[in-house]
């Protein structure tokens, strides 16, 4: 509009002057160029062409090579030899390094040394902005670098690969025809630290009291397992025993006459020995060993005798406080415990027959007449109650288990009756 008005008035416009610039406009122009340059670089880094990992992902999904490694840092001050697990993920060639926690090592548990990522063979710092992963493809650790016996560098730490798992061995054998070497680490020799030997028993109190005075200036009382003691306090095993004369170093001429009752208390693992008095033997009898826990023969303090040391095949020898005892027989309660209630293992039917035969020798006719008097119907059979009455009449001294075993042997039809004629002829004739 201004140009048209000037043309109509025929006025001279003059030459156009150059546009003036200010320092502020120059700063805005330079800032725009820098922003475009940085945005271009970031776009290049984030939108770089990725490798096609689809085929590898489908083939090796969830398949991991596992290596066991050591980092020996003992050359530096306070350094240690630490154990690590190196996991190599085949689907994306990434590596994860886990620290193996060791008990009482003084180190805080730190689960991951390196999180899952691609690890360069030689770490040269953080890559520059705009660089592409494809430019450094040959500089990353691959599965070909992981061989047992080799040392790899992981961010400045030299990791010695000393073993791998079975899947890893099979993978290298089928993929590359390479057999991974065996374990490359020899077990370290155990260092024996010097320790003070335990003092001998001083004679005051029990051996527990003597040991407590060694560990504490003010001895602490012995701790008991109250739950076990309450549950097993009523369980007592007993054996009849005598001295094993052949194994004794010093023998009294009358020691072969002595008999003992050994009792083992399951509640606290203690043991006592009682000697029944024998007339005109010269031995008073009574308590041979006060109830106490007993150390195994020629063992260290703390290695206590248990019921398994006494539950042996009879007759057998057991050492108690340097005395050899020959175990002769045990009571029915202990036999039930050993044989879990199986009556055939507790009593012997032949021994019962012999016991009855010795009791009434030559009285088979009298016994037969008693059975016939009881059998009013003349059926030739009597019941269990009738058998018990006959046993009591002739004072056979059979206990409940022996009577049940006897009835089970002669009750051939399993109806609660026995044929007494066969019974008398077999046992007493």
Residue 280 is part of a domain; what is its CATH number? Answer: 2.30.29.170
- How many domains in the chain? 4
Same domain, 259 and 286: yes
Question: What is the pLDDT confidence band of residue 127, given thresholds at 50, 70 and 90?
Answer: low
Domain with 107 in it: 54-175
Does residue 163 sit in the same domain as residue 58? yes
Vertex 391: Cα angle to 389 and 396 (nearest 5): 155
Distance CA 242, CA 262 (A): 10
Tell me the pLDDT of the chain averaged across its residues: 77
Q: What is the pLDDT of residues 71-114, one digit of tens each?
A: 988 888 888 888 999 999 998 889 999 998 888 777 887 778 89
pTM score, two decimals?
0.40
Does residue 399 sit in the same domain as residue 334? no
Q: Note the pLDDT tens digit of each residue in 359-384.
A: 666 677 777 777 777 776 677 777 77
Asked if 58 and 112 sit in the same domain, the reply is: yes
**Buried/exposed 187-202: b ≥16 CB within 10 Å, e otherwise:** eeeeeeeeeeeeeeee
Same domain, 276 and 323: yes
Question: What is the full DSSP assignment across 124-187?
Answer: --SPPTT--GGGGGGGB--GGG--TT-EEEETTEEEEEEEE-HHHHHHHHHHT--PPP----PP
Statement to judge: residues 329 and 380 lie in one domain: no
Q: What is the CATH number of the domain that holds 390?
A: 1.10.238.10
For the stretch 188-238, pLDDT in tens is: 666 677 777 878 877 777 777 788 888 888 888 777 777 767 767 777 888
Distances (CA, A) of 381 to 375, 410, 424, 429: 7, 11, 12, 19
- Do 60 and 146 share a domain, yes or no? yes
Higher pLDDT, 174 or 412: 174
Quick one: pLDDT at residue 163? 92
* Statement to judge: residues 213 and 161 lie in one domain: no
Token digits of residue 204: 């005051």
**Residues 320 and 405 reside in one and the same domain:** no
Provide the pLDDT for residue 382.
74
pLDDT tens string 381-413: 777 777 777 777 777 766 666 766 676 666 666
């Amino acid at each position: 509009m201004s140009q048209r008005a000037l043309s109509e008035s025929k006025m001279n416009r003059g030459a156009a002057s150059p546009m003036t610039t200010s320092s502020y406009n120059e700063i805005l122009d330079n800032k725009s160029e820098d922003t475009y340059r940085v945005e271009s670089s970031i776009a290049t880094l984030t939108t770089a062409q990725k490798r096609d990992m689809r085929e590898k992902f489908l083939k090796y999904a969830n398949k991991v090579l596992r290596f066991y490694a050591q980092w020996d840092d003992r050359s530096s001050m306070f350094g240690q030899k630490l154990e690590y697990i190196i996991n190599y993920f085949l689907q994306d060639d990434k590596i994860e390094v886990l620290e193996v926690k060791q008990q009482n090592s003084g180190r805080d548990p730190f689960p991951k040394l390196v999180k899952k990522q691609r690890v360069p063979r030689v770490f040269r710092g953080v890559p520059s902005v705009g660089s592409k992963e494809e430019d450094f493809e040959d500089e990353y650790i691959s599965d070909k670098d992981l061989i047992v016996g080799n040392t790899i560098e992981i961010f400045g730490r030299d990791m010695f690969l000393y073993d791998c798992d079975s899947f890893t061995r099979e993978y290298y054998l089928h993929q590359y025809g390479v057999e991974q070497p065996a374990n490359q680490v020899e077990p370290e020799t155990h260092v024996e630290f010097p320790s003070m030997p335990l003092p001998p028993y001083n004679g005051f109190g029990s051996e527990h009291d003597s040991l407590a005075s060694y560990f504490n200036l003010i001895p602490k009382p012995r701790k008991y397992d109250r739950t076990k003691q309450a549950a097993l306090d009523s369980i007592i095993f007993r054996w009849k025993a005598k001295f094993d004369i052949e194994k004794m170093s010093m023998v009294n001429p009358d020691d072969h006459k002595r008999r003992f009752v050994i009792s083992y208390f399951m509640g606290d693992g203690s043991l006592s020995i009682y000697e029944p008095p024998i007339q005109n033997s010269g031995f008073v009898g009574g308590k041979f060993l006060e109830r106490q826990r007993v150390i195994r023969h020629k063992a260290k303090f703390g290695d206590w005798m248990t019921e398994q040391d006494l539950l042996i095949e009879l007759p057998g020898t057991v050492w108690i406080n340097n005395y050899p005892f020959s175990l002769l027989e045990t009571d029915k309660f202990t036999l039930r415990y050993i044989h879990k209630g199986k009556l055939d293992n507790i009593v012997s039917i032949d021994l019962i027959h012999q016991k009855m035969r010795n009791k009434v020798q030559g009285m088979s006719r009298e016994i037969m007449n008693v059975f016939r008097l009881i059998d009013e119907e003349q059926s030739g059979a009597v019941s269990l109650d009738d058998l018990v009455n006959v046993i009591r009449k002739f004072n056979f001294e059979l206990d409940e288990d022996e009577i049940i075993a006897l009835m089970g042997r002669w009750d051939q039809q399993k109806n609660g009756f026995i044929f007494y004629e066969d019974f008398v002829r077999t046992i007493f004739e």
